């Protein structure tokens, strides 16, 4: 297996009719919950000459991506998403036994893990398999790895590099702790996943040694070698993010439950209709507000208003798909703005997010 191929060739493969057709068959098999059929689709592609890396990244990965898209569009239940991921995971595990997927360790050792609180292990699993195919000795630690476990693993195995995955932006503070911990243990960190922003801006903000937009780019970047940063033992999170000194993140994240309660109370006063909410509706509303507060805290952590505005715009779209009026969202932001008036960064972020939403209408 060649380690690097021109991007054009990879793209040609990704768009090859054989792979497009296989993707459709895999999507169908996973929709049926038929693991056996799913494995057959992937094995047939390998037997037809599709390289193992391409089977992982051009066949399985796009199908998994589609699962997420379908869920966001409310065409797939959360549970079905879990089922699809579980089947894809098993397929990847079985793929490793195919003769075309054999690889001799010829490079260094790498640890692949998801940050604590990150449950979407599949992107990291795909990267782990790609790296194994490219000759790395890979330790895959799986989903939600607490930093103490990760560091203990580093001391035990002394890998050349750690690859950390995080898909949810609200895990960025956790990711930062994990990055800092790995570097303090003398190991450079490559990060990837949607949490770090489409251009990897949060990877830079959090002091990661490298960022990659996808598994292929990550494998290419690791092939170039990542130097161990010296003398980061005394490194503190606030060294990367001096704005944390204003304590806005700490205050918002520490009082998040109180903030959610206050917003709910005020909302209930403004919308008498909320009293007739079912338990499930009440729960959803509380969860939505908790998310808003969590994203606000995260935006304060990385000091990026875009992160919060982007989340609010996305939430408005999801609510629209689920036929929930966005008016409660607008009110929630106003109420939060009132509570956090003493925090200039939070206030600016709430103002910017509000300007991205349509004005609160009368249809509450």
Partner 1 sequence: MPDGNVPFERRVVRPASREPMHVETSEYVYDGSRTTRPAPGTTWADAPCPALRADAAGAVVDVNAAAGALLPTARPRAPLADAVPAWLADAHRRFVTATRPTDGERRFGMVRGELAGRSFEARPTPAAAGEVVWWLVDDTELRLAEKALRTEQERTAFLAEASSTLLTSLNVDRCMEVTAELAARHLADAAVVVAPAARRHYPVAYAGPGGVVRRRSVHADPAAVPGLSEALQGFPPVPSRWIDPSLLPEWAVPEGLSQPVGSVVVTPLPGHGVPAGAVVLLRRDDHRAFDESEEVFARLFAARAGAALSAARLYAEQASITDTLMRDLLPPSLHQVNGVEFAGGYRASGAAERAGGDFYDVHPGEGPGEESLVVLGDVCGKGLDAAVLTGKIRNTVQALLPMAGDHQRVLDLLNGALVNSHHTRFATMVLASVRRSAGRVRLRLTSAGHPAPLIVRADGGVEEADTRGSLVGVLPRVTSRTVTADLAAGETCLLFTDGITEARGGPLGDELFGDGRLKSALAECAGLPAEAVVERIQMLASEWVGDRRHDDMAVVAITAPRTTHLSAVDGHTRGRFTA
For the CB of residue 43, give the shortest distance to partner 1 in the complex, in Å: 10
Residue 73 φ then ψ, to 5°: -85, 10
For the CB of residue 355, give the shortest distance to partner 1 in the complex, in Å: 26
Closer to partner 1 at the Cβ: 240 or 262? 262
Residue 212 φ then ψ, to 5°: -140, 140
For the stretch 52-86, what's the b/e string if a residue is b when 16 or more beta carbons lie within 10 angstroms of its beta carbon?
bbbbbbbbbbbbbebbbebeeeeebeeebbebbbe
CA angle 218, 35, 60 (to 5 degrees): 25
- Enumerate binding residues for partner 1 (CB under 8 A): 33-36, 39, 77-79, 82-83, 85-87, 89-90, 93-94, 97, 116-117, 119, 143-144, 146-149, 152, 154-158, 184-186, 230-234, 256-258, 260-261, 264, 283, 286-287, 289-290
Closer to partner 1 at the Cβ: 98 or 201? 98
Distances (CA, A) of 63 to 40, 57, 280: 15, 10, 31
Closer to partner 1 at the Cβ: 126 or 263? 263
- Report d(CA 115, CA 269) in Å as an integer: 39
For the CB of residue 329, give the shortest distance to partner 1 in the complex, in Å: 15
Closer to partner 1 at the Cβ: 143 or 324? 143
End-to-end Cα separation, the chain, in angstroms: 60
For the CB of residue 174, give the shortest distance to partner 1 in the complex, in Å: 8
Closer to partner 1 at the Cβ: 59 or 212? 59
Query: Which residues have a Cβ under 8 Å from the Cβ of 40 and sit 6 or more positions away?
Result: 29
For the CB of residue 68, give the shortest distance to partner 1 in the complex, in Å: 15
């Amino acid at each position: 297996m060649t380690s690097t191929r021109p991007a054009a060739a990879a793209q040609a493969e990704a768009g090859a009719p054989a792979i497009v057709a296989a993707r459709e068959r895999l999507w169908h098999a996973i929709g049926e919950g038929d693991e056996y059929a799913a494995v057959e689709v992937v094995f047939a592609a390998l037997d037809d000459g599709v390289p193992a890396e391409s089977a992982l990244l051009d066949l399985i990965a796009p199908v998994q991506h589609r699962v997420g898209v379908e869920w966001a569009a409310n065409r797939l239940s959360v549970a079905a998403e879990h089922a699809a991921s579980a089947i894809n995971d098993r397929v990847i595990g079985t793929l490793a036994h195919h003769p075309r997927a054999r690889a001799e360790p010829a490079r260094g050792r790498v640890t692949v893990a998801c940050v604590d609180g990150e449950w979407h292990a599949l992107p990291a699993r795909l990267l782990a398999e790609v790296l194994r195919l490219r000759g790395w000795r890979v330790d895959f630690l799986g989903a939600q790895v607490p930093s103490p476990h990760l560091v203990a693993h580093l001391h035990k195995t002394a890998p050349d590099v750690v690859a950390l995955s995080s898909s949810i932006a609200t895990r960025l503070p956790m990711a930062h702790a994990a990055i800092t911990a790995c570097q303090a243990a003398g190991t450079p960190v490559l990060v990837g996943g949607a949490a770090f922003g489409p251009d990897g801006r949060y990877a830079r903000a959090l002091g990661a040694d490298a960022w990659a937009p996808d598994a292929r780019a990550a494998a290419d970047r690791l092939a170039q070698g990542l130097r161990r940063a010296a003398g980061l033992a005394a490194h503190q999170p606030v060294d990367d993010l001096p704005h944390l000194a204003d304590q806005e993140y700490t205050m918002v994240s520490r009082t998040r439950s109180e903030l959610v309660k206050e917003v709910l109370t005020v909302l209930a006063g403004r919308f008498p209709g909320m009293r007739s909410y079912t338990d499930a509706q009440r729960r959803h509303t509380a969860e939505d507000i908790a998310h808003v507060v969590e994203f606000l805290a995260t935006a304060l952590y990385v000091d990026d208003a875009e992160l919060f505005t982007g989340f609010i715009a996305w939430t408005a779209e999801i609510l629209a798909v689920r036929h929930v009026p966005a008016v409660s969202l607008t009110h929630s932001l106003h109420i939060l703005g009132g509570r956090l008036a003493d925090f200039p960064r939070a206030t600016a972020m709430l103002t910017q997010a509000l300007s991205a939403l349509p004005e609160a209408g009368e249809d509450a």
